[in-house]
Each structure stands twice: as C-alpha cells, then as structure tokens.
Amino acid sequence: MSRGCLYVIGTPIGNLGDITLRQIATFENIEVLFCEDSRVSSRLINHLLTKNLITKKPRYVPYNEFNEDRIFTQIVQMVTDGIQVGLVSDAGMPAISDPGYPAIRGCLNANLSVQVIPGPTALTTALPYCGIGGEVTLYLGFLPKTSGKAMKMLEASREMLEKISSTRIVLYVSPHRLLKDLEHIKQVLGEVHCVLLRELTKQYEERIEGTVAELIEKYATTKVKGELVLILSQK
C-alpha cells in the first residue's frame, strides 16, 4: 500500500495569478480535498483545469469550523489507508485564523506524513504593504465576538506595545465588526496609529491610514465590504 499524506495547501487570497507551481503539482496529486466551501475551492480547481494545469478533479469534502472537531478523524483514517489528502481554506493558509489545526495535529499524533505547501496569506502580504517597520509583530487574528473577551485580548497586547514601542499589532477584521473593533481598540490602546488594508491582491485593493479616531469617524458613516487587515502601531 502506498503511503498516504496530508497536504496542507495554501491558496491565493484573491488573485488567482498567485498560485504556485508546487500548489498546482499537489492539486494534481491529491485524491480528496477537504475544504471550507466546495463552491469556492471548485472555482480554483476549475480554473486550473481550464488552463490545462491539472488533469482531474479531487473529491470534495466539507471541512470547516463547525465540523472539524469530529471530521478530522476521517482525514487521519484516509491518510492511514494510503490516500493522498489535501486540506485548504477558502483563501490563504489553513490553521491561520482558519480551520485546520485538528486535522494537522491528528495526523502528527498518529505519526503520519504531513506536508505544508506554502502560499500567500493576508498577514504576510499586509506587513510589507502597511509601511510600518517594527522589531516585534503581534498577530491577534480576529478579536473575540464578545466585548469582554475582545477587551481582555487587547489589554494583554497593550503591555507589549508599551514596553516595545516599535511593536506592530495585526488583526483580521470582519466588515460588520470593524466599527466595534475600532472602538474597543481606542478604549484599551488609546489613540494608536492604524493602517487598514482591504481586499488585498484583488481589483479593488485599498489602503487607508490614520489614527483610530479618524477611522472611527470615517466608518461611522461609510459601509465597508471585503476582507480586512488592520495594523496598529505607536507611530
């Protein structure tokens, strides 16, 4: 029996031109693809098929925040049985503010083969684009939805910001939570400097820079859409 493997595959965060040769070769090799949303992943696979970059489709299986704690055992069993399994999120790298950890940990605990096929992330794209240097980068992902937990996370990061003035704090933000997150930030961290990056690598990519108060004023009356990354600093 051939040796199975779990391939943790990065995917473009918006621009399909960012696909890599290694990702393409991996998509050609896998038999089953665990994905957040098969409609999203099938668009990428169909794009590769249309361009004659791969010759076949994998079988899609849903893997998301709602089912990963129970379905990851299927992945472990498939890899144990010698199947080549892929794991993707809708965009970027699995397990970075996206589902993936239980499957990866499960395979590692079972001494099975795991390979990470790197790709772009909003985090690594945002850091050079923000234009703010820093000795330390503190990545918080998405703030918790409840105000108390969000404030607690920000309070924990405040000490780092105060001790090392060149610290950059990076957050992912949902459009419908932007204003609330900014208000929490102002309340806990004060008048920090902000760079908001929207729709990275996509047609309507946008960069907005200003104080947290300026961003609150702007988005109190302006509806925002798309994927958002927010970088905070003491600039």
Domain shared by 130 and 71, yes or no: no
- The confidence score (pLDDT) of residue 165 equals 86
pLDDT digits (tens, 9 = 90+) for 14-46: 999 999 999 999 999 999 999 999 999 999 999
Is the pLDDT confidence value at 48 over 70?
A: yes
pLDDT digits (tens, 9 = 90+) for 95-119: 999 999 999 999 999 999 999 999 9
The parent domain of residue 28 ranges over 5-120
Q: Which of 103, 120, 137 delimits the end of a domain?
A: 120
Domain shared by 39 and 145, yes or no: no
Q: How confident is the model at residue 58 (pLDDT cuts 50, 70, 90)?
A: very high
Q: Which of 87, 120, 153 delimits the end of a domain?
A: 120
Domain shared by 94 and 136, yes or no: no
Q: How confident is the model at residue 212 (pLDDT cuts 50, 70, 90)?
A: very high
Provide the CATH number for the domain around residue 216: 3.30.950.10
- The confidence score (pLDDT) of residue 1 equals 54
User: Which residue is it, tokens 């929490």?
Assistant: 184
Q: Mean pLDDT, to the nearest integer, of 155-173?
A: 93
Query: Which candidate, 154, 213, 206, places its Cα nearest to that of 179?
Result: 213
pTM of the model: 0.93
With H, G, I as helix, E, B as strand and everything else as coil, classify residue 169: strand
Domain shared by 37 and 101, yes or no: yes
Q: Mean pLDDT, to the nearest integer, of 70-74?
A: 96
Query: Which candidate, 166, 101, 81, 180, places its Cα nearest to that of 132?
Result: 166
Q: Which of 90, 120, 150 delimits the end of a domain?
A: 120
Domain shared by 96 and 142, yes or no: no
- The confidence score (pLDDT) of residue 135 equals 86
Is the pLDDT confidence value at 2 over 90?
A: no
Is the pLDDT confidence value at 73 over 60?
A: yes
Number of folded domains in the chain? 2
